[in-house]
Each structure stands twice: as C-alpha cells, then as structure tokens.
Amino acid sequence: MTSTSPPESRPSTLERFPAWRSVTWPGGARVAVQLLLAFEAFEEHSQFTTEAGNGVNPFSISYGEYGAHVGAWRLLQLLEDEGVVGSVAINGKAADAHPYVVKAMAERGHELVGHAWANDRGMPGGDAERELVARTLEAIERAGGVRPVGWTSPGKMGSPDSDEILLDAGIRYTGDDASDDLPFVRSVGSRRIAVVPSTDLASNDLLHWVLRGQPPSTIVDGFKTTFDAVYEEALQERPGMVGLVLHCHGAGRPTLVPAVRELIRYCKRHAGVWFARGDEIANVALREDSRR
C-alpha cells in the first residue's frame, strides 16, 4: 500500500498578503450585507427621463413619486417578510412631503440616512451646503423621530467641504467613497469620520435597470458573483462586505421585487452572513480605529 502525506494546508489570504487590510465583524460574521434603500424627491426631474433640456419634467417627477405611493411600501413589506433591516438614504424634500413613509421606515428598525435635500441637486459646498445639510437632517428627524448619523450625497458625490460640514452637523460616517471594499476611518483635521464605501456597483438598480434598461437578472448575477467572491475570501480569513442598492421608485416596482427576494434568500443560505445597517458598519470601523 502506498502512503501519501496529507496536502499542505493553504495559507490564509492574510498570511500570504499581510499588508492586505481586514476587519472583524460582530459575532465572527464572514460577510456583512448592506441593503441600502433610497427614498428620493426631485425638483425638476428624476433619473428617468426621455426629454433633453432644462426645466421641470412632470412625467419624470411622477416616476420618482412612485417611491412614496407604492415602492417604499412594497420594499418595506418584503424586508419585513424576510426579517432583515437596512439603511435608507432619504432626501429632505421626500421626508418633508411624505413624513408617514419615513416614520414607517424608522418604526421597522431601518436606519435613516441623510441624502441631501433634492436628488437632482448636488452638494454646493460652503455656507450653502451647511444650510442644506441642516435643513435635510431636521426634516428627516421631524418625520422619523431619529436624527441621522450617516450621510450619502446624491450620486455619492460630496463636495471638498462635505466631511467637515457633516462632522459639524453630528454626522459620524459618510458613504461618498468608492476607494475600498471595507469600512475605514478618515482624518478631517484633528477629527475622524468613518467611511462606509460603495460595494454595490454591480448590484445597483439605478445603474443597471433604470439607466441602462438591463433585465433584473443582471443585478442578480452581479450581486451573486460579488457575494461568492467575497465569501470565498472570508473563508480565507478576510471577512468582507457586499452592498445592494434599492431605490424605492425603482426596485419597489413589481419587476425587481422577486429579484431582491431571491438575493436576500441566497445570502441567508450561507453561514455567517450579517445583514448590517450602515451605522453598525461604521461603528466597527470607529471601534477598530480607536484601538490603534
């Protein structure tokens, strides 16, 4: 009988690449899944428009209003059915016009996140941005009874002044970043702000369905492929994070809801998956930074 020695165990990712940053999730979770909803309002047009030029586009505005009338409720029901919570990026204008939607989100345990006043207006910087941030946070708190500690700008595009302004307003983390796939902490003068970066570029309903007209299967395939790769890295001792972006006026339509349900259940079939709110992810980064 020929004997064979056992194969050498494969070194972990971090053993092979010790400079590659890792993170420790609560409870030893392998993958954090952030469900980021967007509840938006617009002044001239939503992301869906077939008309070029400036000025108010009534049909495009009505597309955005679908979120308050139908889409938010459908997504809230879905998440409640599946027993998971997420974060909701909310425009101040949406909170002001539809406070009952924001209240329902807060009552069901979803995190309320600042998302500027109107989604078709950028972050202007300076005093105008300070006023915009304050006005937005006040509207969300008035509607939902909770003052946000997180912020993501329209298009996730803040201004050079945003970090300082957000910290002054009591914000602890920002989502305006695509430089990493794990949370981290950034210096702002003598202060620190947590960053929860975008890990949803392959599974964003706006990018793939609303703007490009691709079928729901594109989002399903993009999310599963990303999740599988991140999960495999987690098995090699590098826990990771995956995001799924769901606009209430996009993913809240019947076309996408089955796909969202499929992805949530796909995650649940894997051991060690943590459905995490943005503030919980930021807390991990802030806690680990304080230990350094």
CATH number at residue 270: 3.20.20.370
184: containing domain: 24-43+55-290
Per-residue pLDDT of the chain (292 residues; tens, 9 = 90+): 444 444 556 677 777 777 778 899 999 999 999 999 999 998 776 666 656 567 777 777 877 889 899 999 999 999 999 999 999 999 999 999 999 999 999 999 999 999 999 988 989 999 999 999 999 999 999 999 999 999 999 988 999 999 999 999 999 999 999 999 999 999 999 999 999 998 887 777 766 666 556 677 888 888 999 999 999 999 998 999 999 989 998 889 898 999 999 999 999 999 999 999 999 999 999 998 877 6
244, 208 Cβ separation under 8 angstroms? no
Q: What pLDDT, on the 0 to 100 scale, is given for residue 57?
A: 75
In our burial notation (b when 16+ CB lie closer than 10 A, e otherwise), range 235-253 reads: eeebbbbbbbbbbbbbbbb
Angle between helices 257-268 and 72-82 (to 10 degrees): 20
Task: Say whether 6 sits in a helix, a strand or coil.
Answer: coil
Q: How many domains does the chain divide into?
A: 1
Whether residue 12 is contained in a domain is answered as no
Residue 8 lies in a domain: no
> What are the residues facing 201 on neighbouring strands?
none
Domain-located, residue 10: no
Is residue 3 included in any domain, yes or no? no
Q: Environment class of residue 94 by beta-carbon count within 10 Å: exposed (0-12), middle (13-18) or buried (19+)?
A: buried
Domain annotation covers residue 227: yes
Whether 112 is covered by a domain: the verdict is: yes
Residue 247 forms part of a structural domain: yes
CA distance 224 to 219: 8
Residue 7 lies in a domain: no
